[in-house]
Structure 1
Amino acid sequence: MKPQRRAVWWRRLRTIVVARTGDDPERGDVPGWVLVTLMTAGLVTALWFVAEPALSGVFEDAISNVTP
């Protein structure tokens, strides 16, 4: 490919990439989603750690009350 054609090709590619990744307010925030996911996982883990003995007791009582 000739250098001039290559330069034109790169300019067109850059234009397409910039047009597709421009400042779109509907795009969202990836780091925000990561933070929400990690915080949710942390909250579930903390609640599970606190509630695990009570949940185990409820489960064992329910299983022991089942008649074969």
Structure 2
Amino acid sequence: MKFLMMIQTLLTALQLRVSPSDDSERGDVPGWVMITMMTAILVAALLVVAQDALVNMFQNAMSKISG
């Protein structure tokens, strides 16, 4: 009986450690910072590589709209 109580206590303590805390609104801040930085770097790299093509595409689209 004492063994079962010890297992139950151990499982309860493990569940409390594994289960999410009450502060579920905090989120994964370092993860979001990393995603934001990687996105900004990707956009900057694409801009460096394809800037001329993007500018031409934008100018063509604007000239079609304005007539």
TM-score, normalised via structure 2 length: 0.46
More helix by share: 2
